[in-house]
Amino acid sequence: MSLVNFIKGSIIEFKEKVEWPKWPELQSSTIVVSVATLILSIFTFGVDEVFSKALRNIISLLINAVN
């Protein structure tokens, strides 16, 4: 019975107590999150490329030093 009461209580809370964002607020938040995600992905790509090239150079130096 407690699961049924939990589900009923959750539905009531979602309908009556939760303040859902208005459409313009939701659009604005979506734009902010999208731009932040794009910036973070570009930054991550850049750092990954720098580390990849650095590791390739280090490995190449080590191989050339052994030969």
What integer pLDDT is reported at residue 31 of this predicted model?
97
What integer pLDDT is reported at residue 1 of this predicted model?
67
Tokens read off for 58 = 């280090």
**Dist. CA 46–CA 48, nearest whole Å:** 5
For residue 15, the one-letter residue type is K
What integer pLDDT is reported at residue 23 of this predicted model?
94
Going by the DSSP 8-state scheme, the letter that residue 1 receives in this structure is: -
Phi, psi dihedral angles at 19 (to 5 degrees) = -100, 105
**Dist. CA 4–CA 12, nearest whole Å:** 12
What integer pLDDT is reported at residue 55 of this predicted model?
97
**Dist. CA 66–CA 60, nearest whole Å:** 10
5-58 residue pLDDT tens: 999 999 999 999 989 899 999 999 999 999 999 999 999 999 999 999 999 999
Where do the structural domains in the chain lie, given as residue ranges? 19-66
